């Protein structure tokens, strides 16, 4: 019986120590583009393979299916999104650096969806929100990755 | 393994089966109006008596600074309200490992093993229908249990 406990302890210890993660294919660091450059002209990068890097600032709490990387410019960020289960990003990696290669995609919201989306963000941040202040529909950009590396 | 993780994952809406996330908020009036980043970080760390190494900082807006700590926890300061939120994240190591296997997040070898295991379960269930003879066989009163076994999933498929 003691051997079984020993095997469990070794396996779970290895699990704790694994701080670097690799998901999907290898990332292509030769295609590295600053997030600020992508967000300044997203149309120029749409549906093209690009590599981005940045500090992980938030992660999907339920399924680990998305995370947001901080841009090199202040207040900016870019979301990485995968289909549920394709990659599972650990919440505990917040604050670590990630590198991701994938295709940039656009989500075009209509005006009503834009208001709901911004209202949801405001509610999450416990800020006041006036839907009437939104007069233009939003386009959200996100990277659909083929490979992600999370560094310690 | 599948049974334990199954219960955990069934209640995904009610709890996080992979992580324990605890959030605490302190209101620190002296934070309001501070504009020196080092001073802000000091107030944030002292507010929750945090001694860990800082991994990274991020300004999400002019008035909101996030500080990420070595163990995956983080602090968020709102310079308008003086609110500091401490988010402590701890992995549920055993559940997380079991859920990872259950949800097929592991490599292909696990899929082969779990398929083989599922086939053995199917064999176990179907062979039991023919192995027991006499009054305890499914042809007798115990057949009612087999029938219920079919009816319950059918009920949820068609009426829920």
* Residue (of B68, B22, B71, B20) closest to B44 by Cα position: B68
Q: Which CATH number fits domain A22-150: 3.40.50.2300, 3.30.200.20, 3.40.1190.20, 2.40.50.140?
A: 2.40.50.140
> CB-based contacts of B155: which residues, under 8 Å, 6+ apart?
none
Q: Where are the domains positioned within chain A?
A: 22-150
Does the beta carbon of B110 lie under 8 angstroms from any beta carbon of chain A?
Answer: no
Residue of chain B whose alpha carbon sits nearest to that of A70: B58
Confidence check: pLDDT of A13 > 80: no
Does the beta carbon of B68 lie under 8 angstroms from any beta carbon of chain A?
Answer: yes
Q: Do B97 and A70 touch (CB under 8 A)?
A: no
Confidence check: pLDDT of A69 > 60: yes
Does the beta carbon of A124 lie under 8 angstroms from any beta carbon of chain B?
Answer: no
Give the containing element (helix H, strand E) for A150.
Answer: strand A139-150
Q: Where are the domains positioned within chain B?
A: 19-91, 107-159
Half-sphere exposure of residue A59, counting CA atoms within 13 Å on the CB side?
Answer: 28
Which residues of B, range 2-31, sit inside 8 Å of A by Cβ? 12, 16, 18-19, 21
Question: Where residue A10 falls among pLDDT bands split at 50, 70, 90?
Answer: low
Which alpha helices (DSSP H) does A33-136 contain, by range? 35-40, 111-124
pLDDT of residue A6: 64
Take residue A89 and report the two structure tokens written for it.
């990003």
Please determine, for the modelled complex, whether the ipTM score is greater than 0.85. no
Does the beta carbon of B94 lie under 8 angstroms from any beta carbon of chain A?
Answer: yes
Contact assessment for residue A98 and residue A67, using Cβ atoms and an 8 Å cutoff: yes
């Amino acid at each position: 019986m003691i051997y079984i406990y020993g095997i469990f302890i070794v396996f779970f210890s290895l699990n704790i120590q694994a701080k670097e993660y690799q998901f999907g294919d290898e990332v292509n660091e030769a295609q590295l583009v600053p997030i600020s450059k992508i967000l300044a002209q997203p149309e120029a990068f749409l549906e093209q393979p690009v590599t981005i890097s940045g500090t992980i600032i938030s992660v999907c709490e339920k399924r680990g299916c998305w995370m947001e990387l901080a841009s090199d410019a202040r207040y900016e960020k870019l979301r990485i999104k995968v289909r549920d289960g394709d990659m599972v990003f650990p919440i505990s990696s917040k604050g670590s650096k990630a590198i991701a290669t994938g295709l940039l995609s656009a989500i075009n919201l209509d005006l009503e969806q834009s208001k709901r989306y911004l209202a949801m963000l405001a509610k999450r941040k416990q800020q006041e929100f006036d839907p009437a202040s939104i007069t233009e529909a939003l386009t959200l950009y996100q990277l659909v990755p083929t490979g992600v590396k999370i560094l310690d | 393994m599948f049974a334990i993780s199954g219960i955990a994952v069934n209640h995904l809406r009610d709890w996080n089966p992979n992580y324990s996330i605890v959030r605490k908020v302190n209101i620190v009036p002296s934070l309001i109006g501070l504009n020196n980043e080092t001073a802000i970080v000091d107030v944030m760390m002292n507010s929750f008596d945090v001694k860990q190494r800082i991994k990274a900082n991020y300004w999400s807006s002019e008035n909101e600074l996030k500080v990420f700590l070595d163990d995956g926890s983080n602090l968020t300061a709102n310079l308008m309200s003086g609110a500091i939120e401490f988010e402590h994240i701890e992995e549920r190591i055993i559940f997380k490992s079991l859920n990872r296997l259950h949800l097929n997040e592991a490599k292909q070898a696990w899929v082969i093993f779990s398929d083989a295991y599922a086939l053995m379960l199917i064999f176990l269930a179907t062979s039991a229908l023919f192995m027991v003879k006499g009054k305890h066989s499914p042809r007798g009163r115990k057949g009612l249990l087999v029938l219920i076994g079919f009816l319950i999933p059918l009920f949820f498929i068609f009426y829920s």
